[in-house]
Chains A and B, each alone.
Chain A
């Protein structure tokens, strides 16, 4: 036993490297000669290594725990991030959706409006002419224009083209009308007519100045609570048919930068015991404006701004035929109906297709002719610089108006340049024979699929929408408001008696049309000294139109106005509690000066009322 202990110690010492050089040598010699000692050594070594393994395993296990922990932390981290991301996405979508349902965004589509927007009749061209630079060579302008935008060139068959107008988006720099003036306008504006309405039944009322309102039963809800208003409510109606009323109400007839002719404006408001009400969604107030002899009126909604009210066209539900209704015992002719080319009774035609007697052969002829026309006119070279390859679909919808001219064009194409080119081609179509439904000329919607083939591979691209609008300039699509135009026609007399509109909202409502003038346009501005607190408006004698001005660098600018129009300039200045009125009859080619005189409110009203007769 003693020997054994000694040997074990010796082996330990050897393994621990505590032996001296000679001892070490002796030990190793012994290992080689003494087999029993060697076995002992090996055993000892194995046991030590076995013990060592336990320590190693403990360390490896610790490493494993660490690894597993890290792995879980990773999982947890990833899932936390995933949850956060999905929460973000959810809230993002949610937030995005909410305003869409409540108040639809103006327009998601890319809209391009071709220059013809301001050309009322495609065959007639207008000239742009600035008073300041009147002598500019026409040719030069024309060339310049062509260089800028070849597709914007409007072609016409026979009329002499003098110049083509490009409507550039005008950067609005609105005169921050002085608060004093705004409060002044508030004080002088017309008091509303307050009508007590029982909401339980349909209610029809003729207002003071002849507007007939038809309000369906149970159509008001509380703005705040959304609860249906029952029983009696107060409806406040302010009618603006008179020029003086409009001027005192700081109203003008402009939709963005388009001049309007008004057929009357209304301001509607409703409350129940002082609590503001609004129209229940889906309910519509029918309003018949008191405006004889005006055609093609449209319904506009007003957006009140500091400088007045800007009118926006109520969007129209396209392709939805309006049912014939009888109102005021007059027959209504569906004039705004659009019928699809494939369904129409009598298809719109090229003159040469008239030879075909049968509708289906006519339709075939028409389709052929349009395709031939487009194929021959479509200028593929516009795509040279775009590097287009393969097949490109251009889907076109366009309206053939009741007079056979081309109306709205809507195009879906892979590139906007292709869309523009297609607009150019379609607009250059000759005058067609309009389509008829039930013997009445109606608008026809024509669908034209077209494919342009370039060399190379076809790449799938998301199409974009390009539009040309004859009458609707950047009309915002509002899902919640549907306009129904019902023109009342007497069967024996095509003069329009009244306009009946349906509005889905209260507030500012305007029965207007886009001003139609064939006149050239000029830029008009006015310089007024000491102009603080002054508001200048231009009244057109030939049409019911009031244009506002914007103040820029001390000048009052009216933008582009029809040339040679007889106008009245009205300036109202309110400063230090004193009212000044400036009035000047002039025309749009003469630069005039305004002279101000101090007036009382009564005098102001009187002066403005004098003008009412000049407003047709």
Chain B
């Protein structure tokens, strides 16, 4: 499938389909990671990150894909891998072109969200479900209360704040530990 068609899938909200198409590029990315000394699991993680970064960029209004999906994913994967290995040398960073700089920033930015994800995963099962229902599925508190058998809409609402607060707390502490 051409890049253009994949782009249309993204724009029309058929993200899953688009990912399926992009996954066809995986073998080549895997090759890259394996050639850099990574394992297949590493390659899998790297490609996943690259797709997340791509998706995040596509959601931004000011992002424009200047190359093919493959070229883009390839360079993102390269950065992700280097980042995972902490292999950036000053010389290298100095020589980056603008596009590469933006990718580098994307990769670094993603750390935040990774921490947030990690924090979220540390929540209890019920909290996770609640937050996912509210933020991802955009369910109303009424529906959530019904689905999760809260006694009332209000309790669900309250519970949601508590869960979010808890996630934020965990997130904050992780950020602090990383920074210190």
B is a partner of A:
yes
Q: Which A residues are within 8 Å of any B CB, using their own CB? A: 4-5, 8, 43-44, 46-57, 59-60, 62-64, 66-67
Closest to A15 in B: B135
A67 with B55: CB separation less than 8 A: no
Does the CB pair B19–A51 fall under 8 Å?
A: no
Give the number of A-B contacts (CB < 8 Å).
Answer: 90
**Residue in A46, A53, A62, A67 whose beta carbon sits within 8 Å of that of B171 in the complex:** A46
Closest to B136 in A: A55
Instruction: Pick from B23, B56, B132: contact of A66, CB below 8 A.
Output: B23
Cα distance A47–B175 when bound, in Å? 12
Contacts of B118 in A (CB 8 A): 50
Within 8 A of A (CB), among B118-170: 118-121, 131-132, 135-136, 161, 164-165, 167-168
Closest residue of B by beta carbon distance from A42: B112
Q: Would you give the shortest CB distance from B13 to chain A, in whole angstroms?
A: 12
Task: Across the interface, name the chain A residue whose C-beta is closest to B111.
Answer: A46
Residues from 1 to 57 in B contacting A, C-beta threshold 8 Å:
15-16, 19-20, 22-24, 26, 44, 48, 51-52, 55-56
Q: Looking at the complex, which one of A4, A43, A51, A53 makes contact with B114 (CB distance below 8 Å)?
A: A53
- The answer, among B24, B26, B112, B131, for a CB contact under 8 Å with A51, is B131
Q: For the complex, is B70 an interface residue (Cβ under 8 Å from A)?
A: no
Question: How far, in Å, is A427 (CB) from chain B's closest CB?
Answer: 67
Contact between B23 and A63, CB atoms less than 8 A apart: yes
Nearest 8 CB-CB pairs, A to B? A50-B116, A63-B19, A50-B117, A67-B23, A46-B116, A49-B113, A63-B20, A53-B117
The answer to whether A48 and B16 have CB atoms under 8 Å apart is no
For the complex, what is the distance from the CA of A54 to the CA of B118, rounded to whole Å? 10
B56 partner residues in chain A, CB cutoff 8 A: 49
Contacts of B15 in A (CB 8 A): 59
Evaluate contact between B114 and A47: CB separation under 8 angstroms. Answer: no
Smallest CB-CB separation from B48: which chain A residue? Answer: A60
Residues of the A chain whose Cβ atoms lie less than 8 Å from the Cβ of B131? 51
Please tell me if B172 contacts chain A, counting CB pairs below 8 Å. yes
Across-interface contacts of A54 in B (CB, < 8 A): 117, 120-121, 132, 136
Number of interface residues of B (CB under 8 A): 35
- Judged by DSSP, the binding face of B is helix
CB neighbours (8 Å) of B51 from chain A are 56, 60
- Contact A67 B26, CB 8 Å, known A43-B171, A60-B52: yes
Inter-subunit contact A53/B132 (CB<8 Å):
no
- The reply on B69 being an interface residue by CB < 8 A is no
The yes or no answer to B72 lying at the interface (CB within 8 A) is no
Residues of A within 8 A of B116 (CB): 46-51, 53
Q: How far is the CA of A613 from the CA of B95 in the complex (A)?
A: 115
| A46 in contact with B52 (CB, 8 Å) | no
Closest-CB distance, B170 to chain A (whole angstroms): 10
9 examples of A-B residue contacts, CB within 8 angstroms = A5-B161, A44-B168, A50-B119, A51-B120, A54-B121, A57-B48, A60-B51, A64-B26, A67-B24
Complex interface: chain A residues within 8 A of B120 (CB): 47, 50-51, 54
B121 CB contacts on chain A under 8 angstroms = 54
**Assembled-state Cα–Cα distance A44/B169 (Å):** 11
Once bound together, how far apart are the Cα atoms of A53 and B55, in whole Å?
Answer: 10
Tell whether, in the assembled complex, residue B164 and residue A47 are in contact, meaning their CB atoms are under 8 Å apart.
Answer: yes
Q: Contact mask B71-97 → A, CB, 8 Å, 1/0? A: 000000000000000000000000000
Shortest CB distance A7–B (Å): 11
Whether the pair A56, B55 counts as a contact (CB closer than 8 A) is: yes
